[in-house]
């Protein structure tokens, strides 16, 4: 590690480029089957250690240990943070969202009957981004759909050729407590905000007479879509690194037939910085992140999608650490200099997070 570089925030000189900044080996790349995500494999893959292990199984014992950041109050917050994501079905709808108790078609104008005429897709992109910002998206980019990134077990009609990719900033102080529970709360809150943003954006598009498929982590790989849409580059930690917040974002996307002008991808030296930095790999308690100097094409486990030149993260190890921790972890986000450059403090204790002195 070059400590001088990692102690200083990397300078993000952003260039717009003609094609996405990743290298693909076409002989190895296949559409990823969502049944191979680590979360799905917990339910069906009896050949690995995480089978049937839920990461909240040990929470009661962990609370009893009395460690700061792992109290009942901390877990209450972390579990509450997911509520809108988990309970609001409209957040991930592929159709006009039903209003509580009343068929939507009986209220007001049926906007879906006619299409708003769009003669300038770039102008429509501007409106779309403004709408996404209003609903709470921190970053918005638009790309043409590269169908390589759709899950192999999902299909969507050809007319959905545009993707609106949105990043939601996560609470910096919460993340800075990782692996304690306020970090998991920042993550859950990111997912819940995503449900709200997606619902607003899906309805905005439908009110213009077009279709919208609202997605969180489902349906397609979010990170390559976000790279295509010009939101950032891939880091050693396997996450999207944005110039504004580093990896401290959650991603969601909408597939649509709304005519839109795409953004160009960006490049700001992430690969070169990651080659030397390695902080995420050094701090990962699961030893899940590669220390190799150079990226490669070798997947480390079944839950990786081979075929892209990158540092593959052993997500099996990562998940098993989450089970030990009683919740998810964000340490590879917390320690990343691209996050620290945008955070109030690099490290926050659970006590400081709750402002208890
Ligand atoms: S989330 Fe935690 S355990 Fe998983 S790769 Fe990042 S630092 Fe390691
Ligand atoms: S992703 Fe990892 S290696 Fe790359 S800058 Fe962030 S902490 Fe350093």
310-327 per-position pLDDT tens digit: 999 999 999 999 999 999
Helices (H), the chain: 3-7, 38-44, 59-65, 72-80, 83-87, 121-135, 172-175, 181-206, 222-228, 270-277, 279-283, 315-325, 331-334, 337-340, 350-353
Residue nearest to atom 6 of ligand 2 (CA): 336
196 pLDDT above the threshold of 50: yes
Can you give the residue ranges of every domain in the chain? 3-95+111-353
- Atom index in ligand 2 nearest the CA of residue 10 equals 5
CA gap 3, 343 in Å, rounded: 19
Average pLDDT over residues 332-347: 94
| 338 CB within 6 A, ligand 2 | yes
Please determine, for residue 2, whether its predicted confidence score (pLDDT) is greater than 90. no
How far is the CA of 281 from the CAs of 102, 225, 263, 290, 291, in angstroms? 52, 24, 32, 6, 6
Ligand 2 near 336 CB (within 6 A): yes
CA 148 to ligand 2 center in whole angstroms: 26
Least confident piece of the model among 111-115, 269-273, 287-291: 111-115
The whole-chain average pLDDT of the chain stands at 94
* Ligand located closest to 283 CA: 1
Q: What tens digit of pLDDT does each residue of 47-100 get?
A: 999 999 998 899 999 999 999 999 999 999 999 999 999 999 999 999 998 887
DSSP 180: S
Mutate to test the pocket of ligand 2, among 10, 336, 339 (most ligand atoms within 8 A of CB): 336
Residue 111 has a pLDDT of 87
What CA–CA distance (Å, rounded) separates 232 from 126? 19
Residue 329 CA: which ligand is closest?
1
Mapped onto helix, strand or coil, the DSSP state of residue 293 is coil
For a pocket test of ligand 1, which of 187, 329, 336 has the largest count of ligand atoms closer than 8 A to its C-beta?
A: 329
pTM above 0.85, yes or no: yes
Distance in Å, CA 152 to ligand 1 centroid: 26
Ligand minimally distant from the alpha carbon of residue 272 = 2
């Amino acid at each position: 590690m070059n400590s001088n570089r990692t102690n200083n925030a990397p300078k993000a000189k952003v260039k717009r480029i003609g094609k996405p900044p990743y290298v693909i080996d076409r002989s190895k790349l296949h559409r990823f089957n969502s049944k191979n995500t680590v979360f799905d494999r917990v339910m069906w893959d009896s050949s690995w250690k995480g089978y049937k292990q839920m990461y909240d199984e040990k929470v009661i014992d962990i609370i009893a240990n009395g460690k700061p950041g792992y109290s009942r109050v901390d877990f209450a917050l972390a579990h509450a943070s997911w509520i809108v994501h988990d309970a609001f079905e409209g957040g991930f709808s592929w159709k006009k969202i039903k209003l509580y108790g009343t068929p939507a078609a009986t209220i007001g104008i049926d906007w879906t009957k006619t299409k708003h005429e769009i003669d300038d897709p770039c102008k429509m992109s501007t409106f779309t981004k403004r709408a996404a910002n209003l609903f709470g998206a921190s970053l918005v980019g638009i790309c043409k759909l590269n169908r390589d990134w759709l899950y192999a077990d999902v299909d969507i009609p050809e007319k959905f050729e545009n993707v609106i990719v949105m990043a939601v900033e996560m609470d910096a102080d919460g993340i800075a407590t990782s692996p304690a529970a306020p970090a998991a709360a920042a993550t859950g809150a990111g997912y819940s905000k995503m449900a709200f943003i997606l619902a607003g954006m899906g309805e905005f598009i439908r009110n213009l007479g077009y279709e919208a498929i609202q997605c969180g982590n489902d349906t397609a790989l979010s990170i390559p879509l976000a790279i295509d849409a010009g939101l950032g580059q891939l880091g050693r930690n396997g996450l999207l690194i944005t110039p504004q917040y580093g990896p401290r974002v959650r991603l969601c996307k909408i597939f649509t037939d709304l005519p839109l002008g795409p953004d160009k991808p960006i490049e700001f030296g992430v690969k070169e910085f990651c080659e030397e930095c390695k902080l995420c790999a050094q701090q990962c308690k699961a030893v899940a992140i590669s220390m190799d100097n150079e990226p490669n094409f070798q997947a480390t486990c079944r839950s990786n999608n081979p075929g892209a030149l990158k540092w593959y993260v052993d997500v099996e190890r990562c998940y098993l650490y989450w089970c030990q921790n009683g919740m998810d972890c964000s340490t590879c986000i917390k320690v990343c200099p691209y996050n620290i450059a945008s955070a109030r403090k690099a490290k926050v204790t659970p006590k400081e997070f709750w402002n208890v002195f």
